[in-house]
């Protein structure tokens, strides 16, 4: 589990495709502190296991499934990636509960710089829109963000300069793809409502009446 609070911007040192997936090596510093082989590190929001650690980098094995649902397939040497170590029991939960399991990729449509913040718009697949709500949480490239608005599968987020300048959002260009993880709570609610013999008094109308959807 993670919080969506990026600790460091790393650099892709190498990305080698193999018969079954790929091996990624990331140059970094902060997230190597107290990290050992087998620990989890989120790379652009993707939970990966450190399989090799050196003084200034770590390696992870990327599965075919990860390549299929994330933006990893577009990574090249020198690219910036957001990094976060796994949540510990004594950590502050500054963002929200993030699993590191990516649901889809989204496309950056626009970046608007205002006086005190930035407005970014992303397009997500139609089938994922139902899991994203106004003022709810969404993880974009491993960053915990609040949804300012969503309409017709277009997410708008308002981002403060600190977040923009200390993540790889500042390196994105319109048309670039980002990793999207929707809020896990919505998926559990959907699962509970879909069970045929569910005896719960919670219904879709109840959720709507009480502002949950």
pLDDT of residue 200: 58
pTM of the model: 0.88
| Residue carrying the six token digits 């006086």 | 115
Q: Are 115 and 158 part of one and the same domain?
A: yes
Mean pLDDT (the chain, rounded): 92
Q: From 85, 195, 174, select the one nearest 121 (Cα to Cα).
A: 174
Asked if the structure places residue 205 within a domain, the reply is no
pLDDT of residue 213: 65
Is the distance from CB of 28 to CB of 57 less than 8 angstroms?
yes
Return the CATH number at 57.
2.40.30.20
**pLDDT band with cut points at 50, 70 and 90 for residue 197:** low
Asked if the structure places residue 97 within a domain, the reply is no
Q: Are 113 and 183 part of one and the same domain?
A: yes
- For the purposes of burial, counting CB atoms within 10 Å of the CB of 20, is it exposed (0-12), middle (13-18) or buried (19 or more)? exposed
Tens digits of residue pLDDT in 118-169: 999 999 999 999 999 999 999 999 999 999 999 999 999 999 999 999 999 9
Domain count, the chain: 2
Q: Is the pLDDT of residue 95 over 60?
A: yes
Q: Which domain holds residue 81?
A: 8-85
Asked if the structure places residue 168 within a domain, the reply is yes
Is the distance from CB of 179 to CB of 46 less than 8 angstroms?
yes
Q: Are 54 and 18 part of one and the same domain?
A: yes
């Amino acid at each position: 589990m993670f919080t969506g609070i990026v600790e460091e911007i790393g650099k892709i040192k190498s990305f080698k495709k193999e018969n079954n997936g790929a091996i990624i090596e990331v140059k970094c510093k902060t997230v190597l502190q107290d990290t050992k082989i087998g620990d989890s590190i989120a790379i652009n929001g993707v939970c990966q296991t450190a399989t090799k650690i050196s003084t200034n980098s770590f390696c992870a094995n990327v599965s075919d499934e990860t390549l299929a649902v994330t933006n990893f397939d577009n990574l090249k040497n020198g690219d910036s990636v957001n990094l976060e170590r796994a949540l510990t029991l004594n950590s502050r939960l500054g963002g929200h509960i993030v699993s590191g399991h990516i649901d889809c990729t989204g496309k950056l449509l626009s970046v608007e710089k205002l006086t005190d913040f930035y407005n970014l718009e992303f397009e997500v697949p139609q089938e994922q829109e139902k899991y994203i709500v106004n003022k709810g949480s969404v993880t974009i490239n491993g960053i915990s963000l609040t949804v300012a608005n969503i309409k017709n599968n277009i997410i708008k987020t308002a981002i403060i300069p600190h977040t923009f300048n200390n993540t790889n959002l500042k390196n994105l260009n319109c048309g670039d793809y980002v990793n999207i993880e929707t809020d896990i709570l919505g998926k559990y609610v959907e699962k509970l409502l879909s069970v045929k013999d569910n005896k719960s008094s919670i219904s879709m109308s109840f959720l709507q009446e009480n502002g949950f959807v």
